Amino acid sequence: MSAQIRVLLAKVGLDGHDRGVKVVARTLRDGGMDVVYTGLHRTPEEVVTAAVQEDVDILGVSLLSGVQMTVFPKIFALLKEKNVEDMIVVAGGVMPDEDVVELKKMGVAEVLLQDTPPQQIIDTLTGLVEARGAR
């Protein structure tokens, strides 16, 4: 039994649109991954706590509300505080190009915008986990 990729998908803050993240969850399931979905309106603290307990390979945060530049620094600070610095953090949703550049500088491994085809999402996440290696 080989290690299966585990992903936690989260919606943070007041953003109430979870159609997209549910489609992504389904896509990843069909790609053979275990997907933990935490539901709407979570805080960064809740999301990171859940991701650490679940020990997911990838923490995927979906945002359509424009608060990414506030949320991701918090997530990285919390991961560091909890002694988990090998978790791959991925952003998804709709956001400006200049934010994408900044998020990647901050440590976000990949930003998957609204027009990313499903297979590309699977391939990207699989690639990220393979590049990281055993943990």
Q: Applying CB under 8 A, which residues contact another protein? A: 1-4, 6, 25-26, 28-39, 42, 45-46, 49-50, 52-55, 82-86, 88, 107, 109, 132, 134-135
Shortest reach from residue 12's CB to another protein, in Å: 13
16: its two tokens? 């109430």
| Closest to another protein by CB, 6 or 66 | 6
Shortest reach from residue 3's CB to another protein, in Å: 4
Q: Which residues contact 27 (CB under 8 A, 6 or more apart)?
A: 118, 121, 122
Beta strands in the chain (DSSP E): 6-11, 34-37, 58-63, 88-93, 110-113
User: Judging by beta carbons within 10 Å of its beta carbon (0-12, 13-18, 19+), is residue 119 exposed, middle or buried?
Assistant: exposed
| Closest to another protein by CB, 81 or 96 | 81
Shortest reach from residue 4's CB to another protein, in Å: 7
